[in-house]
Chain A
Amino acid sequence: MALEFACFDVVLAFAALFGLAAFFTLRCRVHSALSPLVSLCSISLVLAAAGVAGVLRPAVWAVYLVCFVLGAAALWQKRQDWKALCTPGAVLFWAMSAAFAVYFALRQPLFTDFDEMSFWGTAAKLTHETGGLYTVAPVSWPWQATQSPCLITLGYFVQALGRYGDWKVYLAYDMLAFACFAALLGRVEWKQYRLAVPLAAVCWCVPYFFTTYNHTIFLSTVYLSAYGDIPSGLVLGGTVALWLALREGEGPRWPVLPVLAFSALIKSNTFVLALAAAGLVAADWLLTPGTTPWKQGLVRRIGFAAACFAAPLAAYRGWGRYTLALALKNAESGGMGETSPDVVTVAINGIRMILGLPVGDYYEARRSQFYTACSDMLHQYLTSDGTLSMIGQGVVVTGLILALFFAAWLVAGQRGLRVRIGLFALFSSLCFLGYNLMLALSYGFIFKPFQAERLEDYNRYVYTYYIGWFLIALALVGLALRHAPRLDLLGHAGVLALATVMLLRVNQMVLPQLSVLGFSDAEFADRQIQQSRAEAVAAVTDGARLFYVYQGDNGLHWFTATYDFYPQIVDYSGDGGGTFGLESLRPGEDTVEGYYFHPYTEAAFAALVQSTGCEYLYLDKVDDLFRESYGGLFSDGLAAARQGETLVYHVDSLGHYSPVEMEVP
């Protein structure tokens, strides 16, 4: 397929986004460095709402149309103001987004990580292929997908009018990151390039700096990932930076509201981060009115502060009600109807437990799990066992961030600004404590015991906050340096030194050939093999439902096959990946085969296949255990599969399996 046809949808998405951003800047007086973030979040929210309403496909056409019309009208009517579109932040966003679009279009990176297959990537593909939200897409998952939608709809926006591609999802995430960086540059002007360039360099390093703690020997997936953890942190920082820049100028304040609502729906745990951001914005607006007397306009300030909380709350509650209804419906139709305990309920009961008040049986039974998680988290935070960043464990990172707040306070030339910086430092520290409490509550009362025991994925949950917290401090440094700083030269030199040290450290830890800027084509060799096998199987199975076998799978291959074949359905196939065999041949418990072992007798296996209604079996990987257990069900005793002549067996009406002739890649 010619590159230009593969990319026309991305070009259209850029044009639509530019139209909306131009409209916000020229007609609504939103600074051009801030309008990309506001536009991306607004579009994503609208598409999420349309998805909930079941009108995603028409809505995306409408969004494009509205963006084009608003943009064209604004650009024509305000053509004398075009200069306002060209600011350092805006140029940073558009130049980096365009460069990454071209780069990714040429390099075509693919999803490889587990959760990209088990949710993020697959949800993006389901949404694109069906034109409806992934929550209602026909797929063989027996559980209800209820994860938050905004990153998925963002990925959909970038490629809604064209062919699906993994790289376009990466591009959408990176555009969001660049929009946050642009917001952090905020109202920096061209003549302040000596501040803008180091700030941009620091921003570029941030996702590496707080997520990488070893010299990389494998590909670093920073800027090449569909996970939501880094974007969540960037949006937390970006939201506060956006607010600081909005408040700095004469323009409207409302653009922070869609960004707050968006941040509540990035991941399930980002609601807390959205509330933290809302709290910081509201406190700043309420407590430090600037030069006006405190009582003047108090009601309006209170109203806006309330709106800051209402925006994420409404988005979160709305999504919660939608997914609850879906889960109940799913349960009625035979699927799993369970959802995790509600975060708010967990928080109330967890705090009651800390205060020594009585709690229900569910929480009482998990008391030791909760306190053990608290103790383990503290250990990780304080000791080198918990090293998670390029400078060490959490306590060191906290020290760096607080030092940055102190630096901002030191260089700020106005008393009012110093008070604001102090309040941001204080409240963001309190939010950090609150976020940790939420993590502890999650490990205590939501996670399974074995997950809590090893603090599963603790690093990526906690570095989200560090990223956001650091960006908040950095944005304040930038703000302080732009307003008659007391230590002008020293402050600028400090930012430059910070950029230099961070770049040096990133270059030490992440080799160019193992980063987004120089990855090898071979990184995706395995995925390309899987895709070519899927294409070959799809060619001989005519869209029929497939029963999937991959002996030794831990679920990843099943998720990957589900993803690769879609819209062709790969059946849940017993337990969504694992090893089939007779009970008498059960592998050792300490092996992957043993851990994900599904014992079926020959008759039970045949009945299972029959019950799924699958017309074909896709034998991605069979072993001696499978052959010995079920070889009798296959007309050739699995000889063709063993000799590599086929991957597919046809299931006839009598339940016999016969090999299908095909080209095996």
Chain B
Amino acid sequence: MSRLRKIKAPIPLLCYGVCLIGFLAVCLWHFAGDSLARANGRLAEAQMTAGDFVLAGLEQQADGTLVTLDGDPQMIWENPDGRAVRTLRVEASYSDEPREVCLYYTNRAGEDFSQDKRVFPQKQADGSYRYTLPYGAIASLRLDPCSPDMNKSIAITLGAVTMNEPAGAGSYFVPSWYQCFCLILYPGLAAAALSLARQAWKKRR
């Protein structure tokens, strides 16, 4: 404790340092947790087909293609065994432009899908869509594979749908744009708060 008191780093530097270390610690925690889950089979990679989903606004044809029936096609998957879900990569080809694609999730059984729990994909070089879900229990997923224009129907040929594809260790440590913003702003605010608290303490003494 006495050693800690001797640290003379300015408060902002200290705050940015602590936040950076905290961020790296959380990343490391996620990486370790996922590695452990992968080792004991809770985060196993799995291939999915259209049959694993409950289809709404979509109809599967005899040749396997999915045809949209309305403007809001959905593919719903309920997590049967509480397995961990981190990523979903979807390969698909479309008869027309898919427009918006996204993935909704819930954390509890029976919970409604909402705009607040929605992730957008990153389009990969091979044209597939990769969704990354936030950490936490996933009770169900709702994949919106496309958003057809009014009065249009789109035929979707679903390719590989891969859950929990292994990710490189580096990907755990790359912050999103929003996290970058937070890493710049919040340590600064924390430093301002600490500086105020220190002055208040000095005044009181």
Binding site for B on A (CB under 8 A): 103, 193-195, 197-198, 200-201, 204, 215, 217, 489, 492-493, 496, 499-500, 503, 511-513, 515, 517-518, 520-523, 525-526, 529
Contacts and interface: CB of A to CB of B under 8 A. Distances in A.
A194 B97 contact: no
B71 interface: no
Interface in B91-130: 97-102, 115-116, 118-123
A201 B189 CA distance: 8
22 contacts: A194-B192, A194-B193, A194-B195, A197-B188, A197-B189, A197-B191, A197-B192, A201-B188, A215-B115, A492-B192, A496-B192, A499-B189, A511-B115, A513-B118, A513-B119, A513-B120, A515-B178, A518-B177, A520-B102, A522-B121, A525-B99, A529-B97
A522 B122 CA distance: 9
Contacts of B196: 194, 489, 492-493, 496
Contacts, number: 75
A201 B120 contact: no
Q: Tell me what chain A mostly uses at the interface: helix, strand, loop, or mixed.
A: helix
A598 B146 CA distance: 34
B100 A518 contact: no
Contact of A526 (B12, B99, B177, B191): B99
Contact of A194 (B119, B191, B203): B191
Interface of B: 12, 97-102, 115-116, 118-123, 176-178, 181, 185, 188-189, 191-193, 195-196, 199-200, 203
Contacts of A204: 185
Contacts of A515: 178
A634 to B, nearest CB: 22
Contacts of B203: 489
Nearest to B188: A197
B178 A517 contact: yes
Contacts of B121: 520, 522
B164 to A, nearest CB: 21
Central interface residue in B12, B176, B196, B203, by most chain A CB within 10 Å? B196
Q: Which 7 A-B pairs have the closest CB atoms?
A: A520-B120, A194-B192, A197-B188, A512-B178, A522-B100, A194-B195, A517-B178
A524 to B, nearest CB: 10
Contacts of B115: 215, 217, 511
Contacts of A523: 100
B192 A198 contact: yes
Contacts of A520: 100, 102, 120-121
Given A195-B192, A512-B178, A520-B120, 13 more contacts: A193-B12, A193-B188, A194-B191, A197-B189, A489-B199, A496-B192, A496-B196, A515-B178, A518-B177, A518-B178, A520-B121, A522-B102, A522-B121
A500 B189 CA distance: 9
A522 B177 contact: no
A545 to B, nearest CB: 28
Contacts of B100: 520, 522-523, 525
Nearest to A190: B12
Contacts of A489: 196, 199-200, 203
Contacts of B176: 512, 518
A500 B192 CA distance: 11
A214 B151 CA distance: 30
Given A496-B196, A517-B177, A522 B189 contact: no
A194 B190 CA distance: 9
B123 to A, nearest CB: 6
Contacts of A200: 188
Contacts of B178: 512, 515, 517-518
A522 B100 CA distance: 5
A517 B181 CA distance: 8
A627 to B, nearest CB: 15
B196 to A, nearest CB: 6
A546 to B, nearest CB: 22
